[in-house]
Amino acid sequence: MPAATPAPITVALLGGGTVGSQVARLLTESAPDLAARVGAPLQLIGVAVRDASRPRPGVPADLLTDDAAGLAARGADIVVEVMGGIEPARSLILSAMAAGSSVITANKALLAADGATLYRAAADNGVDLYFEASVAGAIPLLRPLRESLAGDRVVKVLGIVNGTTNFILSKMESEGADYAVALAEAQALGYAEADPTADVGGHDAAAKAAILAELAFHTRVTTDDVSCEGITGVTAADVEAARDMGFVIKLLAVAERTADGAGVIVRVHPAMVPNDHPLASVRDAFNAVFVEAESAGEMMFYGRGAGGAPTASAVLGDVVAAARNRVSGGRGPTESVYAALGVRSIDEARTRYYVNLDVADRPGVLAAIAQAFADNGVSIQVVRQDGHGDDAGLIVRTHLATEGALRRTVDNLRTLDAVKSVVGVMRVEGEAGP
């Protein structure tokens, strides 16, 4: 007697845009392989969009619906949320879980704002919650943090997780372009939205930093816990000064344990990275995340951080994992926030700094400036001076110092007669040593 064909695993898609249409395409095109990997066929039962009358390449017209609430509550084995935004995405996910569906989402904004509610609903309903695509698109990163490194102790996560800003900074570097020119080019090429605020303001990277920090440090972290500064203040002069010193400027998401090990600091800001650091060569729209763990040492994850097909690849990986759990009766990983480390202020973060000053060119100036650093316990690593006549440019690079001490130093510098203006202050990341 032939073996009975296993019942299909049903999949409902909430969203049929850039990512959703690619998920639908892959579910259809790769159906035989996916069925073999899961042990049961995957059956797409509906795709919810705002405008169901508009044809979508790769999405069968008879599956399109504008009734997202109805589709979410239909009790599919797996609901994939790729609509974006907080509402109605959150309500739809909760209604799907209440109906017994496992949920896959790419929605970093929702996870970083209110992941706890989603985790709780998944636990209450005995379903899975997977979200690999929410950070760094196609790059397998959350599963390694959540599963492969579950036996290690992560010390630091340092990454380029926003392709739009990386593209803009790469253009500023390679073409000497001003920020506004590089942004306009990114918009013309489709790498930046018409309203680029979420990207250039660092908010998208901050949401991803919160998700990474929560998984890395087993501690609940939300967007509000992330200190966030975007790239709008980065100038062509900063980029040039960085280049002269052998650095590039990157927008970094950083999550790290405090020196006492009892806290975690999560921050997003532009920083100078030495040319020989692996993150320095990550260009254009690519993403990369550098993870440092106590036993494993340093690792880097690199690849495409966005785009329909790359992001859909990560979504499909989660669909296969959730579907296998359905077939085997298993469960995916649940929320792990047992460590409950305190989320500390960026004032406690220890990093190196570059300070660019416009100073009067007369004797004693250097001594006064060095004193301002010393008074605040900030030790100077390198000083470079150029210019003649009345004005001189002075660039100071420091050893490790706390953010608070550096801020006090800069406040002091602004009060000195010798200092005409503080032209730029930027953190330096990725250098070894004190």
Ligand X SMILES: NC(=O)c1ccc[n+]([C@@H]2O[C@H](COP(=O)([O-])OP(=O)(O)OC[C@H]3O[C@@H](n4cnc5c(N)ncnc54)[C@H](OP(=O)(O)O)[C@@H]3O)[C@@H](O)[C@H]2O)c1
Region binding ligand X by CB under 6 A among candidate stretches 101-109, 182-190, 284-292, 357-365: 101-109
Helix (H) or strand (E) holding 123: helix 108-125
Token pair of 334, please?
A: 């649940």
Strands in 236-331 per DSSP E: 247-257, 263-274, 286-293, 297-304
Interface with ligand X in residues 125-164 (CB under 6 A): 133, 137
**Complex with ligand X: residue 70 or 233, whichever CB lies closer:** 70
195 binds ligand X (CB under 6 A): no
Q: How far is the C-alpha of 328 from the C-alpha of 276, rounded, in Å?
A: 47
Measured from the CB of residue 122, what is the shortest distance to ligand X in angstroms? 18
Instruction: Give the Cβ contact number of residue 333 at 10 Å.
Output: 15
Give least dist CB 359 to ligand X, A: 45
Q: Please state the φ and ψ torsions of residue 403, each to the nearest 5 degrees.
A: -55, -40
58 binds ligand X (CB under 6 A): no
Binding footprint of ligand X, residue count (CB under 6 A)? 23
Site string for ligand X, 254-293 (x = CB under 6 A): ----------------------------------------
For residue 208, indicate whether it is catalytic: yes
Position 118 contacts ligand X (CB under 6 A) = no
Residues 6+ apart with CB under 8 A from 95: 69, 72, 73
Residue 311 engages ligand X in binding (rule: CB under 6 A): yes
| Least spacing, CB of residue 13 vs ligand X, in Å | 9
Q: Using alpha carbons, select from 352, 356, 419, 414 the residue that is nearest to residue 386.
A: 356
Is position 108 an interface residue for ligand X (rule: CB under 6 A)?
A: yes
CA 253, 206, 137, 328 dihedral sign is: positive
Site residues (CB under 6 A) for ligand X, limited to 65-94? 68, 82-84, 88
Q: Which of 44, 96, 106, 268 binds ligand X (CB under 6 A)?
A: 106
Return the DSSP state at 167.
Answer: H
Catalytic residue selected from 108, 156, 171, 208: 208
CB 91 within 8 A of CB 110: no
| Site residues for ligand X per CB under 6 A | 15-20, 48-51, 68, 82-84, 88, 106-108, 133, 137, 306-307, 311
Q: Catalogue the active-site residues.
A: 208
